[in-house]
Amino acid sequence: MKKAGFLASSLAVLTVFAAACGAEDDASGESSSNVVTVYSPHQSEIINPIVREFQERSGIEVDLVTGGTGELLNRVQAESNNPGGDVFWGGGAESLEAYNDYFEPYVTSEDDSIPEEYKSPTNHWTGFSALPMVIMYNEEMVSEEDAPTSWEDLLDEQWKGKIAYTDPGRSGSSYTQLVTMLFAYEENGEKGWDFVERFVENLDGTMLSGSSMVFRGIADGEFPIGITLEEAAHRYIAGGSPVNVAYPEEGTSAVPDGMALVKDSKNSAEAQEFMDFLVSEDVQEMIVEEFNRRSIREDIDPPEGLVDSSEIPMVDYDFEWSAENQEEVMQQFQQLIMQQ
């Protein structure tokens, strides 16, 4: 990340800006508080350096509230008459789309550098990074010949009760994984639910409460295999952990995680500045170089060592269907769980 020169010049400009604004009203008549409240399901290793950089550059204080995607979205909904948050940062974009009644349209200052597939058609959310879903496995627990290469491989009896998978009611990325499996097998009967039913049977009651428990559990040897985000798995690969990944042969998805401006937020100007920062060239280079995430900007290359996007088999992921049918999908999934 090109920090040094940019940081010096940005601090100079932003310090003047902050001093000029202070607690005075801005041009729109809104009061500038110099604080922004961010709700985020991201892991601390991603949140902390980005928030620290933003605070240093802008002089704006970030109040952070963390939790699961579903938990935080429910909080936004519950607080809609008196919003406590200003920005929602993280979670699958289709989860944000499903709650777009609680977000305000906003076009970031970097909009021209972001392809349409990484933005809401109504501007209710903007992507933060592109996130292919992968099967992750521990090479010390799984032989090369047994390493799963497809969704179908997860149904093997040897993995019964040993698959790391997060409750999709708690995790936006896990919901994306569920819908990805539905689309991968939608032509095989019951629009993919026959496959998901067999997958749930092989989970054998094992369901994790947080997405970080998947990649950590596999790397630590608690589970031999699991479903997770490409970037999370590759952080462990880059760190020397005995893990590897496979892109399911039937096809995976690369739905972006997103960010959104909370409707009627109390610190809208600061929220917009934070969102612009997240999609800036500097931050997007940081997530590539330091977190092995694929940028949503078309002017930034993917992380070194990752396969080209064109080589990853993809399902025909219907984003609109996923968002509009989230409640129904979750109800049907819960029914399968209760039947076990």
All domains of the chain in start order, with CATH: 4-130+256-295 (3.40.190.10), 133-253+308-339 (3.40.190.10)
Strand partners, 63: 37
Task: Check residue 188 and give its pLDDT.
Answer: 59
pTM over 0.75: no
Task: Check residue 2 and give its pLDDT.
Answer: 42
Strand partners, 257: 92, 129
| Contacts by 121-126, CB closer than 8 A, 24 or more apart | 124/96, 124/97, 124/100, 124/260, 125/93, 125/96, 125/97, 125/100, 125/258, 125/259, 125/260, 126/258, 126/259, 126/260, 126/275, 126/279, 126/296
Burial category of 93 from C-beta neighbours within 10 Å (exposed 0-12, middle 13-18, buried 19 and up): buried
**Could you read off the pLDDT of 314-335 as tens digits, one per residue?**
999 988 899 889 999 999 999 9
Residue type, 328: E
Burial 95-119, CB ≥16 within 10 A → b, else e: bbbbbbebbbebebebeebbeeebb
Name the residue with tokens 């690969």: 237
Two tokens, residue 229: 């985000």
* Residues in the chain with pLDDT values less than 50: 1-30
Per 3-state DSSP, what percentage of the chain is helix, strand, and coil (rounded to 5)?
45, 15, 40
CB 219 within 8 A of CB 243: yes
**Could you read off the pLDDT of 239-252 as tens digits, one per residue?**
999 999 999 999 99
Name the residue with tokens 């961010």: 38
